[in-house]
Every structure is written in structure tokens, then in C-alpha cells.
């Protein structure tokens, strides 16, 4: 793999990935459980209050809401408002399957993430671990 010797990444806190453009943060069941627990509300309350359903025809996935300016619903002036309970998609970025497909896709991602290429070297083993974690399937709601 092109990342056999590891890759440099250190978040620069620019917040581009938490705002700037419309997008989806799809949640797993554990993501919803963890965030709901952190906010001391129920699983369904969390979905009703902070999520939107994204329809794929016969089923929907659950994504975090965005504000009109595309900021994540949990983005605060000092960063992520649920950092310790943030979703897997955020925890594993930028080591996502589509980004790690090739050197080109990694370099392309660097155009929107200034943390790529900076800081400590993340080992290939750690990258593989994050890729594996990212395979957890999203929470699916049938029939909505
Ligand atoms: S785009 Fe990259 S550097 Fe900026 S906040 Fe997101 S992970 Fe950090």
C-alpha cells in the first residue's frame, strides 16, 4: 500500500470538515447511543433533535443536522460540542476507505484538509485500525 511507511496527519483545527460545505455525517447505532448518553437524552430524542433522515428509497440513514451555513449542529466557537462522543466518521477522518484508495485520493483530500502531511506519522497499523473501525455499518431505518 502507498501508506506502508505511515502518513503524516495532525488536525490543524481549521474546522473545514465540520463546516464550509454541505455533507453527511452518517451515524452508527453506537454513535447515537454514545452521543445520546453524553447529552443525557434517549436514543430517539437524539435522533429527533439533532439528526435528519436521508432517504435511500426503501430505507433511510441517520445523519447529523447542519445549520443553514453548513456548520455541524454540534460545532461551537471552541470546537466540537460532543468531542468525546463524536461519531466514528469524525474519529476516523481522514483515514476513510475512499481517501485511502490511492496516493492520488490521499493527495486530493489534502487540498481540503491542511492537517494532511503535517505532524506525527500515523503508522500503517494505526491506519488499518481506523479503516477497520470505519467499516461499522450505519444505523438503518427501514421504510422511512
Ligand atoms: S479539515 Fe483537517 S485540519 Fe481542518 S479541522 Fe478537519 S481534520 Fe482538522
Domain that holds residue 68: 7-142
Query: Looking at residue 64, what is its pLDDT?
Result: 97
Please give the chain's pLDDT, 144 residues, in tens. 999 999 999 999 899 999 978 989 999 999 999 999 999 999 999 999 999 999 999 999 999 999 999 999 999 999 999 999 999 999 999 999 999 999 999 999 999 999 999 999 999 999 999 999 989 999 999 986
Pocket test for ligand 1, best of 17, 70, 118 (most atoms within 8 A of CB): 17
pTM above threshold 0.75: yes
**Does some domain include residue 131?**
yes
Residue holding cell 450505519?
138
Q: Is 114 in the pocket of ligand 1 (CB under 6 A)?
A: yes
For residue 54, being part of any structural domain is answered with: yes
115 lines ligand 1 (CB under 6 A): yes
Reading the block at residue 98, the C-alpha cell is 475512499
Is residue 134 a part of any domain in this protein?
A: yes
Q: Does residue 95 belong to any structural domain of this protein?
A: yes
* pLDDT 10s digits, 46-75: 999 999 999 999 999 999 999 999 999 999
- Distance from C-alpha of 89 to C-alpha of 108, rounded to nearest angstrom: 19
Query: 59 has which bridge partners?
Result: 142
Q: Work out the widest C-alpha separation in the chain, in whole angstroms.
A: 45
Residue 109 in any domain: the answer is yes
Say if 1 falls within a structural domain: no
Assess if residue 27 is contained within a domain: yes
- Residue closest via CA to ligand 1's atom 1 equals 113
Short-list 84, 77, 99, 103, CA closest to 18: 77
Residue 124: inside a domain, yes or no?
Answer: yes
- Peptide bond between residue 67 and the one before it cis (omega within 30 degrees of 0): no
Amino acid at each position: 500500500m502507498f501508506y506502508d511507511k505511515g502518513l503524516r496527519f495532525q488536525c490543524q483545527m481549521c474546522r473545514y470538515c465540520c463546516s464550509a460545505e454541505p455533507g453527511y455525517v452518517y451515524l452508527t447505532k453506537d454513535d447515537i447511543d454514545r452521543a445520546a448518553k453524553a447529552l443525557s437524552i434517549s436514543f430517539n430524542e437524539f435522533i429527533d433533535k439533532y439528526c435528519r433522515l436521508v432517504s435511500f428509497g426503501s430505507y433511510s440513514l441517520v445523519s447529523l443536522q447542519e445549520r443553514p451555513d453548513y456548520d455541524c449542529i454540534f460545532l461551537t466557537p471552541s470546537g466540537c460540542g460532543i468531542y468525546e462522543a463524536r461519531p466514528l466518521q469524525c474519529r476516523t477522518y481522514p483515514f476513510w476507505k475512499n481517501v485511502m484508495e490511492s496516493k492520488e485520493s490521499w493527495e486530493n483530500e489534502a487540498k481540503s484538509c491542511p492537517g494532511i502531511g503535517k505532524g506525527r506519522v500515523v503508522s500503517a497499523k494505526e491506519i488499518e485500525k481506523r479503516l477497520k473501525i470505519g467499516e461499522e455499518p450505519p444505523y438503518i431505518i427501514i421504510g422511512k
